[in-house]
Structure 1
Amino acid sequence: MTALDAVSVYTPAFRVPLENLAEPLGLTDIQVRLFRRFHGLDEIRFDPDRSLADLLHAAAAGIDGLRGQEDRVRYVIHGRAMPVVVPYPRNPLHEVCRQLGLAHALTFTVTQQSCASGLLAVDLAGRLLDGDGDPDALALVFTGEKAFTRDARLLPGTSIFGEGAAACLVSTDGPRDRLLAYACDQQGGFDAEFGESFDRFQREYRPSLAAVMRRAVAEARLGFDDIALVLPHNVNIVTWQRLCHLIDYPVDRVVLANVPVNGHLFCVDAFANHRTALEQGLLREGDHYLVAAVGAGAGATYSAMVFRH
């Protein structure tokens, strides 16, 4: 059994109004209005004074259960959307592991599923711990990146990326946030730049994600009526309004409060929404919730996880 023992999220206090991004991102007035009025974006978070290692360290600092337990951490995994995030030979993941006293852990990064790589990292952490054979072993999963280029900051016509980071302490026997099912569909027919396949990707986006969500719920031996909450990837609001209509699920049970104030945070959205759900008292002990993510890079990946809180 994979369980999230602790989840910590760092989101910068510095926010940039959407209009201020028009010039650096090359957006027209019409495109800005589209993002604001149709997609529901308002501000985007950035931390211009912090490096990627700083972002990850800030997220890990919020996990009280890590202090004094460093020797139990066997694996550190960074779920990342972008294949390259810093110039060679820097390695921000190794930097933060040294700072946290985790240099002994087996450390690696997964990027194969783009913005769905965070869920992949959680699944891998659980599988590695299960195969380790030590019930006291832990894994630390990081997500988060810097929005360092225009291509890294903009998903044309769909969303704008911000900055932040999350850290999750994973075990095999935690008392809450236990993983019940993980469904993933990878479609390699979409190349990294999409090109002529973009229209097909747009058409298949919601049906493909809906199918994966249904599969995860079924594998957990539940129905959507049993899902108290959906923690989405924060691509935009209208996508989730239409997706909820497709699966006949109440949109007011999807945590969308972070879309206007965060933007789309690389692989961090699900964990930021988890924090919001707890802060707002939306999850009670025993509730089932679904986490969803889509990655678009070397192909398209649709992922969903079902947890019991």
Structure 2
Amino acid sequence: MGDKSRKQAAAGERAADVQGRFHMDGLSVYRPGLTVPIADVIKDAEQCGYPFKENEAHYRKMGFETVSVERRLSLEEMAERALEPIAERCMQEGIELGEIWFAHTSKVAWHESNLFKTMLRRWRWEQVPLYPVEEHSCSTFHWVLRMAGHQFACDPYKAVLFVTADLGIHPFYYIDDFMICGDSASACLFRREHGDHRTLVVKYKAAGTVYDDDPSRLRQFHAMYYLGIRKIMLETLGEAGFTLSDIRLVVCGNINRQAWETVAGALRVPPEMFYYATMRETGHITNSDIPSNLQHALSGGALRPGDYYLTVTVSMAGTFGCALHQYVPAKRKEGKS
């Protein structure tokens, strides 16, 4: 047995000891067909009075080129596009839901408070507990992973559904000093015992000092947050007895290229290990970054069966999320997604 095979076998034994908490058993992303050059995004925000500190070259250096923009569908319609394939499979296979989480950063008017009403009725989920999370953070994906563990502890036979939708309602939504954001929607289905992606360890942390709005503390966080990312990654791996050499990829949020290159340098690993392939085209699509990049990695062959990988998110509001997963594609019956 070669060194690589021995390392993989050892990693497998450590993973078995951790006994994966649950699995991701479905993944769907809706991205608008329209992509807008960042020059147009900057121009629109400029005309509305956004106080720019940087120019287009600055955002290009960070890795942004175009942005996904939805100009036809409503927030609800976007969410339904992403949800539909997973919901249909739940109906076909008799998968029962224990709870639904819905995350979005878009401001929703009072009359849209029952955003899910039509979908709940369509899929006969009126009695399933629904938890909307508005403006939580760009690490909401990992926060929901943490929350899912509680549901499985109460009822391991019911699935958890995580749905996201983000739709800009003003030119300011698409840009700030740190990144350029786009529109998107996604849906992920989590189950205790079944799924293509086994989740072994989940970490979620908040840097509480950011929330007091002290300018000096905010500047300090923005200058040093990459160390927080490094720390949570190493803690996640350490809990499973893993090292970075056991990991194929780090699937991360589309915050900006410089951030992940800095983290790679701090960890002394190649920048190519950090996977954010959709950022150049879509921008930072908030709650859908991880599902979108993971879907891209699978379709492009960047992840192979048996590979271990990390997912990592960070919010400029001071939250960090990280999880260790293994890609274990299940064999499905013909006609099932």
For residues 5-25 of structure 1, the C-alpha deviation after alignment (integer angstroms, 9 at most, x for no partner) is 011111111111011112222
* TM-score normalised by L of structure 2: 0.83
Query: Could you tell which deviates more after superposition, 7-16 or 189-198?
Result: 189-198
Question: 1:66 corresponds to which residue?
Answer: 90
Structure 2 unmatched runs, 5+: 1-20, 328-337
Question: 1:107 corresponds to which residue?
Answer: 130
Partner amino acid, structure 2, of 1:148: I
Partner amino acid, structure 2, of 1:288: Y
| 1:261 correspondence with 2:284 | no
Alignment of 1:11-50 (within 5 A): 11-26=31-46, 31-36=55-60, 38-50=61-73
Question: 2:232 corresponds to which residue?
Answer: 212
Count residues in correspondence.
301
Which structure has the larger Rg?
Answer: 2
Question: 2:108 corresponds to which residue?
Answer: 86
Partner amino acid, structure 2, of 1:307: H
Work out whether residues 25 and 188 of structure 2, in 8 Å CA contact, stay in contact via their aligned partners in 1. Answer: yes
Question: 2:334 corresponds to which residue?
Answer: none
Tell me, in whole angstroms, the C-alpha distance in 2 between the residues paired with 1:112 and 1:129: 25
What SS is found at the alignment partner of 1:33? helix
For residues 236-290 of structure 1, the C-alpha deviation after alignment (integer angstroms, 9 at most, x for no partner) is 1111111111112222122222111010012110110110011001111211110
Shift of 1:85: 2.2
Question: 2:322 corresponds to which residue?
Answer: 304
Work out whether residues 159 and 236 of structure 1, in 8 Å CA contact, stay in contact via their aligned partners in 2. Answer: yes
| 1:163 correspondence with 2:187 | no
Tell me, in whole angstroms, the C-alpha distance in 2 between the residues paired with 1:256 and 1:215: 22
For residues 132-179 of structure 1, the C-alpha deviation after alignment (integer angstroms, 9 at most, x for no partner) is 25x2x11211123112234432231x1011011110111000143111
Query: Could you tell which deviates more after superposition, 11-20 or 189-198?
Result: 189-198
Shift of 1:214: 0.8
RMSD (CA atoms):
2.1
Work out whether residues 313 and 320 of structure 2, in 8 Å CA contact, stay in contact via their aligned partners in 1. Answer: yes
Work out whether residues 56 and 96 of structure 1, in 8 Å CA contact, stay in contact via their aligned partners in 2. Answer: no
Identical-residue share of aligned pairs (%):
20
What SS is found at the alignment partner of 2:264? helix
What SS is found at the alignment partner of 1:130? helix
Tell me, in whole angstroms, the C-alpha distance in 2 between the residues paired with 1:69 and 1:57: 19
For residues 102-126 of structure 1, the C-alpha deviation after alignment (integer angstroms, 9 at most, x for no partner) is 2221101234741111221132123
Tell me, in whole angstroms, the C-alpha distance in 2 between the residues paired with 1:195 and 1:29: 17
Partner amino acid, structure 2, of 1:34: H
Partner amino acid, structure 2, of 1:236: N
Work out whether residues 46 and 162 of structure 1, in 8 Å CA contact, stay in contact via their aligned partners in 2. Answer: yes
Partner amino acid, structure 2, of 1:60: L
Work out whether residues 142 and 204 of structure 2, in 8 Å CA contact, stay in contact via their aligned partners in 1. Answer: no
Q: 1:71 to 1:242 in 2, by over 3 A?
A: closer
Task: Kindly indicate which of the two structures has a greater share of residues assigned to strand.
Answer: 1
Partner amino acid, structure 2, of 1:140: L
Work out whether residues 26 and 195 of structure 2, in 8 Å CA contact, stay in contact via their aligned partners in 1. Answer: no
Q: 1:99 to 1:33 in 2, by over 3 A?
A: farther
Tell me, in whole angstroms, the C-alpha distance in 1 between the residues paired with 2:72 and 2:264: 38
Q: 1:162 to 1:154 in 2, by over 3 A?
A: same
Shift of 1:74: 2.1
User: Out of 292, 301, 306, which is 1:272 matched to?
Assistant: 292
Question: 1:146 corresponds to which residue?
Answer: 167
Question: 2:210 corresponds to which residue?
Answer: 190
Shift of 1:96: 3.0
Question: 2:310 corresponds to which residue?
Answer: 290
